[in-house]
Structures are given as C-alpha cells and as structure tokens.
C-alpha cells in the first residue's frame, strides 16, 4: 500500500523538486529543480534515498505534513525549528514520524529555503523525466495547498548515522564569481568595474526565476534592443533599470535584455539561501 502525506500547512511557497528537466531548453522548457541542490542531495543521502528522489522545497515559512503510516524524514537546508505533534524534534538528521503525527518545519531562522525529504521520495507523476514544479512554465505539480495528498515511493536504503551531516550555513555575504560576456560590449567600459567593485544586495523581489539585486545601475552603450536569444542558468541579465538579475532554475530559456556575464553554477546554491538584504559581491573568475 502506498504511503501518503497530507499537507496540513502548505506555507508561503512549498514545491516538489528534484534535479530538474535537463536537456529541454530547445523546447522552451527551463531546467527547474531544487535551488539548493547540495542541501537536497544531503537530505536524500541521509535517508538512503536514490539521488533523483523528489523532496519538498519550502520558502521562509516552512510547512506541516501528516503521514498515514510511519515514515522517516530529514528537514535540512535553511535552519528552522522542527516539531512533532507540537514537541521539539531534530533538524538536519533522520527523524521517525509515526502514522498520524504532524511534522512541522517552521519558519527559517536564517536563509530562505528548507528541504523536507522523506524515505522513498515524493512519488508524484514525472513530467518530461522530472517531478519538479516549474513556476514559469507550469510543468510538474502545482505549488502545495492545504489538504493536498502526496504519494511516497518505497524506501530504497537505510538512514545514515546523523554525525555525517555537514550542513552549510546560509551566507552572511554572497560572493558570485562570473565570466564576462556574451553581451558585455553593450555596456560602458565602467560597467564591469561597477559590477565587480560595488556592493549589491539581494532584493525582496527575488524568486525561483531570478535573484534580483539592489545597487548601482549598469550603464549601457547601446540603446537598441536585442532579438531574443538563448539564456542559461546563472546568466546575469540587465533589464532597463540597470540592476543585474541572476537567472536561477526557473529562468526563461530566451530573453532580449543583454547578459553582461554568467555566474558559475556551483555558486548558485548559496544564492538560493541568501535572504533579502544580503550583501552581494560579483567577482571575475
């Protein structure tokens, strides 16, 4: 019999995520997937799950779940209080949740996104090879709502001892290494210096599509408009207001604003946990 999770409290934004839909950009389909992939991977590893097991990604306020049979869960990523039927429970390590008990992953104390992994993984139907929710295209399951019921897969392995859980802290300052191009020549010679010497901050308008910034605008040489061209994960696009936007996993696959540089993908996990107001420094490398 399939184990089911009932969503008691869906929180501000809780979605199903895995490693996403790679290889479909030519069809206009973003990759999607967990923004903090290392956190998802660690949570799955602690449970003995397969690497591609789907998890829940929560945003700021967490979520609450009730299984109809006993399950083992890990809550990781951004630190948050965890309770089991109102009693304090372990964060960052395997936790047994009895049938009918309510597991509550509360609001984050630092960072942005927590991950709730369950032994066996979230077993919603895959779309184009992934179970991930894509907020831009609408592919995959909709963001969770109170009362939703999620099926679980069969556990694949045994939980790992909890002393093997080196959870990284959310960044106090976000450093984003980037390579200039392909449209750096659309900006004044001073623009790359501004980008790499000024301190920007994470905007409260950031989301899974892009990390928006607050700081000095980048001035353009060309006032024309580009034909739409392909966009990649980590592209630093500059809209008309001049404030850079770093594309994250639900980014559009094409765009017409110039890209001044591209951030290396390994740095984007920290970007997923950078709260509004976090200082950002762009570096060349």
- C-alpha 274/C-alpha 168 separation (Å) is 12
For residue 157, the model assigns a pLDDT of 79
**Dihedral over alpha carbons 16, 21, 26, 27 (to 10 degrees):** -50
Per DSSP, the three-state class of 43 is helix
Residue 70 lies inside a defined structural domain of this protein: yes
Residues 231-248: pLDDT tens digits? Answer: 999 999 999 999 999 999
Cis peptide before 73 (omega within 30 of 0): no
The pLDDT of residue 230 is: 94
> How many structural domains does the chain have?
2
Residue 21's nearest CA partner among 136, 124, 139 is: 139
- pLDDT at residue 159 in the model: 78
Do 147 and 192 have their domain in common?
Answer: no
**pLDDT score of 164:** 58
Tell whether 181 and 147 lie within a shared domain.
no
Q: Are residues 49 and 80 in the same domain?
A: yes
If asked whether residues 280 and 216 sit together in one domain, one would say yes
> What's the farthest any 2 CA atoms get from each other in the chain?
64
Strand order in the sheet with 63-67: 87-89, 82-84, 103-105, 63-67, 4-9, 149-151
- The answer on 138 and 12 residing in a single domain is yes
pLDDT in tens, 107-149: 999 999 999 999 999 999 999 999 999 999 999 999 999 999 9
pLDDT at position 21 = 96
Q: Is the pTM of this model over 0.85?
A: yes
> What pLDDT sits at residue 99?
98
Residue 41: the pLDDT is 96
Both 18 and 126 in a single domain? yes
Whether 190 and 264 share a structural domain: yes
Q: Indicate whether 274 belongs to any domain.
A: yes
User: What is the CATH classification number for the domain harbouring 210?
Assistant: 2.40.100.10
Helix (H, G, I), strand (E, B) or coil at 212: strand
Q: Would you state the pLDDT for residue 229?
A: 94
Q: Are 190 and 265 in a shared domain? A: yes
Q: What is the pLDDT of residue 162?
A: 61
Are 159 and 76 contacting, i.e. CB atoms less than 8 angstroms apart? Answer: no
Mind listing the pLDDT tens digit of every residue in the chain (285 residues)? 799 999 999 999 999 999 999 999 988 999 999 999 999 999 999 999 999 999 999 999 999 999 999 999 999 999 999 999 999 999 999 999 999 999 999 999 999 999 999 999 999 999 999 999 999 999 999 999 999 999 999 998 787 766 656 899 999 999 999 999 999 999 999 999 999 999 999 999 999 999 999 999 999 997 778 899 999 999 999 999 999 999 999 999 999 999 999 999 999 999 999 999 999 999 997
Judge whether 162 lies within some domain. Answer: no
Cβ(208)–Cβ(31) under 8 Å?
no
8 Å CB contact between 131 and 21:
no
Asked whether residue 147 falls in the same domain as residue 41, the answer is: yes
Q: Which two tokens stand for residue 279?
A: 């200082």
Residue 77 belongs to what domain range? 4-151
Q: Cβ(115)–Cβ(39) under 8 Å?
A: yes
The answer to whether position 209 is within a domain reads yes
Q: What distance in Å separates the CA atoms of residue 273 and residue 169, rounded to the nearest whole number?
A: 9
Residues 272 and 232 in one domain: yes
Torsion, CA 20, CA 29, CA 204, CA 212, rounded to 10 = 110
In this structure, the answer to whether residues 73 and 127 fall within a common structural domain is yes
Choosing from 151, 182, 214, the residue where a domain stops is 151
């Amino acid at each position: 019999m399939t184990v089911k999770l009932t969503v008691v409290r869906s929180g501000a934004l809780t979605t199903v995520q895995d490693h996403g839909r790679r290889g479909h950009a030519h069809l206009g389909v973003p990759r999607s997937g967990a923004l903090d992939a290392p956190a998802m991977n660690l949570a799955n590893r602690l449970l003995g799950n397969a690497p591609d097991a789907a998890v829940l990604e929560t945003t700021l306020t967490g979520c609450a779940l009730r299984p109809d049979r006993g399950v083992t869960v890990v809550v990781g990523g951004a630190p948050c209080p965890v309770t089991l039927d109102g009693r304090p429970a372990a964060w960052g390590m395997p936790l047994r949740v009895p049938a009918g008990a309510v597991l509550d992953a509360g609001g984050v104390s630092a960072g942005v996104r927590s991950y709730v992994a369950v032994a066996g993984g979230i077993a919603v139907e895959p779309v184009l090879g992934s179970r991930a929710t894509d907020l831009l295209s609408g592919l995959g399951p909709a963001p969770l709502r109170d009362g939703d019921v999620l099926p679980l897969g069969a556990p694949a392995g045994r939980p790992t001892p909890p002393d093997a859980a080196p959870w990284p802290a959310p960044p106090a300052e976000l450093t984003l290494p980037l390579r200039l191009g392909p449209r750096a020549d659309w900006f004044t010679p001073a623009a790359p210096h501004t980008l790499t010497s000024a301190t920007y901050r994470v905007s409260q308008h950031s989301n899974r599509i892009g990390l928006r910034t607050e700081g000095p605008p980048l001035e353009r040489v060309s006032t024309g408009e580009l034909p739409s061209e392909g966009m990649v994960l980590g592209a630093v696009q500059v809209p008309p207001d001049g404030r850079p936007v770093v594309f994250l996993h639900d980014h559009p696959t094409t765009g017409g604003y110039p890209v001044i540089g591209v951030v290396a993908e390994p740095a984007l996990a920290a970007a997923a946990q950078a709260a509004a107001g976090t200082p950002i420094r762009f570096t060349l490398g």
